[in-house]
Structure 1
Amino acid sequence: MLSPSDFIPKNYPKTVENGSFQWSAPSNIALVKYWGKKENQIPANPSISFTLKNCKTITNLSFSKIEKTDNFSFDLLFEGKSKESFRPKIQKFLERVEVYLPFLKEYHFTIDTQNTFPHSSGIASSASGMAALAVNFMSLEKELNPEMTEGYFNQKASFLARLGSGSACRSIKGEVVIWGNHNQTENSSDLFGIEFSELHHNFKNYQDTILLVDKGEKQVSSTLGHDLMNGHPFAERRFEQAHKNLSQIKTILTNGDVNEFVKLVESEALTLHAMMMTSMPYFILMKPNTLEIINKIWKFREQTSIPVCFTLDAGANVHVLYPANVREEVLQFIKNELVVHCQNEQYICDEIGVGAIEFTKF
């Protein structure tokens, strides 16, 4: 089993003076949720997620060699404009990963980033943002070490992304990604995500329409929310449940049982919010419109037998999941009955994607 020390390079056979890379990395939506973490961004339980396709961050990393200093040298741009409010998070990320990327203080970096989804849309951008930054840094390391394999590149990129934002490790490669030690999943690790490759054709091109119920700032930060699992009265039982549900959903994704998928995914979403509502302090992150949407989805599914379901992240927005072959019927249902419960009637159509993609190399 790999340890963090396996990602510390011994030496670099080449030097690079300057250059630029550009990558996109998507967001992802967990089907089996992780809630609670240990030191160094280690999850308290394993999780599995759909990688998204359209909701992504595009990051350009330019670099030029400088005399090595005691500090990191970088400029930050968001959508072409200086974004100093991002600096503390990037600084913290660089401090965490420096031991694994020892060249960081030998370059000045310009990090220019943008999101394809609307700013302040209520969609978490930390996963896509940190994943995009990680693959850019790995591109530079590959220039310094051209013998690096693609497998190691992706594994280390996932490892680094996790140190910026836990769920970012699930945005590097694969349509479906498992993160966290799981005794029934070979090569699973708390350190990085691994691709789940046995996806039944029923789940190929699976759709995710994201209903933007509340685009406001998070009521509780992810870090605080995860910390509330420490000493939570139901935490250990929840962690056991996540292990069991991960085993079950792997079987479901392999055999193509969409109806069982619906039951497990919705149960997981509601369990996540139940843990928040029973922590101390406690939070209710769903809004009245979230519940209206859930009830309408249940009613529609009962009336039509169309296997549409919902999942939630740690907020009020609703991810509506459904097979590609019922896309027209579900989108019509969303337009007719659900958009009225969205802020400014906004929603985003997405589907399963493949992970990070390199655009250009200079």
Structure 2
Amino acid sequence: MDTDQFLVKSDLNFIPKATYTWQTPSNIALVKYWGKSNPQIPKNTSISFTLNNCNTITTIDFEKKEKSTYVDFDLFFEGKQKEEFKPKIAEFFKRVQEYCPYVFEYKMTIHSENSFPHSSGIASSASGLSAIAMCLMSLESEINPDLSEKDINKKASFLARLGSGSASRSVEGPLVVWGNHPEINGSSDLFGVQFPYKVHPIFNDYQDAILLVDKGEKQVSSTVGHNLMHHHPYAENRFQQANDNLTKISKILQEGNIKEFVKLVESEALTLHAMMLTSNPYFILMKPNTLEIINRIWQYRNQNGSNICFTLDAGANVHVLYPKNEKEAVNQFIESELSKYCQKNQYICDTVGLGAIRL
């Protein structure tokens, strides 16, 4: 794998100080990635919808200092200094320092906030780490003006991946593939790429309502869950299944076969959680209300001839996916029937988005 392409090869014209702010989205995987090898290399290819309303806004203030052998940063999350978040970000900087040597030249002050609850299964690490990566690339593009926009996005996805695999899919949109796959032109284990084929119009403005079943910390982190795949008895079959499903969903997205989309996406969600149920040690991230919502969705779909479906990330919350032409009816169904299974009746109405935005 050619990681040398991401090394800084030009002389850098350091500036005394700079501030950059990026809004980067979360994403919801349709074909799931679960299992990886170092450094953050996926065991199977995944594809996700980029979201629009669920995002992280991050500002980094860079101030030139004497070059040191450590990365110097302060971290504030939603206005409060968060020492407990620093180890993960410090590990991220350790992984990217080879590709971003300028991090030793600046004191960084990071201010970050989410539009959704942290650590509740809405891929906050994806939006958070992609935002930091975009801020780093804004600095790099200023001190190394030879970079094109394509270079910036590609390297940002590469850097974000080193912090959180799914973060590689949060730089661009509306559909992003991460992982090398023979039928996806340009795909790579090192960074995410936009789905390279023309998508049927039914999927261009797809809706995603995130039902907040449980806004608390997950009992088992995604990092732990990924590691449990190393000796999982069904791991190899799962990786093959996911890659096969990537082939299938590529055709579905191009042809607009929404019935097959529903079946594949729901199967992927349940398979993800089946891997958790059959890990050693085993664990369950779904809650009773997760199952209640799934059964209500199935009942509604059968009774109304709807194309509504669900997917799940590594958590209890339910992503309700549906085409825009059903928006009014489905939103009414969510408000009247499904919201009672949410914590404090809370849910977020989202839609497919286009990726990172500089503010």
Q: Shorter chain as normaliser: what TM range?
A: over 0.9
Cα shift readout 1:109-136 (whole Å, capped 9, x = no counterpart): 1111111124565533110000000000
Aligned residues of 2:179 and 2:189 also touching (Cα < 8 A): yes
Aligned partner of 2:58 in structure 1 is 59
The amino acid across from 1:338 in the alignment is L
Instruction: Give the Cα–Cα distance (whole angstroms) in 2 for the partners of residues 143 and 287 of structure 1.
Output: 47
Aligned partner of 2:11 in structure 1 is 12
Secondary structure of the structure 2 residue equivalent to 1:154: helix
Instruction: Give the Cα–Cα distance (whole angstroms) in 2 for the partners of residues 32 and 343 of structure 1.
Output: 27
Aligned pairs, number: 358
Cα distance, 1:11 vs. partner?
A: 2.3
Cα shift readout 1:193-240 (whole Å, capped 9, x = no counterpart): 000142211011110000011112112111110111112111111111
**Would the alpha carbon gap of residues 118 and 236 (structure 1) be closer, same or farther in structure 2, given more than 3 Å must change?**
closer
Aligned partner of 1:317 in structure 2 is 317
The amino acid across from 2:300 in the alignment is F
After TM superposition, the score normalised by the length of structure 1 is: 0.97
1:165-244 to structure 2, matched below 5 A, reads: 165-197=164-196, 198-244=198-244
Aligned residues of 1:252 and 1:261 also touching (Cα < 8 A): yes
**Runs of 4 or more off by more than 4 Å in structure 1?**
119-122
Instruction: Give the Cα–Cα distance (whole angstroms) in 2 for the partners of residues 299 and 138 of structure 1.
Output: 47
Aligned partner of 2:41 in structure 1 is 42
Aligned partner of 2:136 in structure 1 is 137
Cα shift readout 1:282-309 (whole Å, capped 9, x = no counterpart): 1122111111111110010011111000
Cα shift readout 1:31-59 (whole Å, capped 9, x = no counterpart): 00001000100011110000000000000
Aligned partner of 1:155 in structure 2 is 154
Secondary structure of the structure 1 residue equivalent to 2:101: coil
Structure 1 residues not aligned, in runs of 5+: none
Cα shift readout 1:58-109 (whole Å, capped 9, x = no counterpart): 0011111111011211111112222222211111111100000011111111
The amino acid across from 1:304 in the alignment is N
Aligned residues of 2:119 and 2:218 also touching (Cα < 8 A): no
Cα shift readout 1:233-259 (whole Å, capped 9, x = no counterpart): 111111111111001101111111111
Aligned partner of 1:95 in structure 2 is 94
Aligned partner of 1:77 in structure 2 is 76
Aligned residues of 2:120 and 2:217 also touching (Cα < 8 A): no
Aligned partner of 1:253 in structure 2 is 253
Identical counterparts, % of pairs: 61
The amino acid across from 2:331 in the alignment is L
The amino acid across from 1:153 in the alignment is I
Aligned partner of 1:327 in structure 2 is 327
Secondary structure of the structure 2 residue equivalent to 1:283: coil
Instruction: Give the Cα–Cα distance (whole angstroms) in 1 for the partners of residues 222 and 287 of structure 2.
Output: 18
Aligned partner of 1:28 in structure 2 is 27
Aligned residues of 1:122 and 1:212 also touching (Cα < 8 A): no
Instruction: Give the Cα–Cα distance (whole angstroms) in 2 for the partners of residues 312 and 324 of structure 1.
Output: 20
Deviates further, 330-339 or 81-90: 81-90
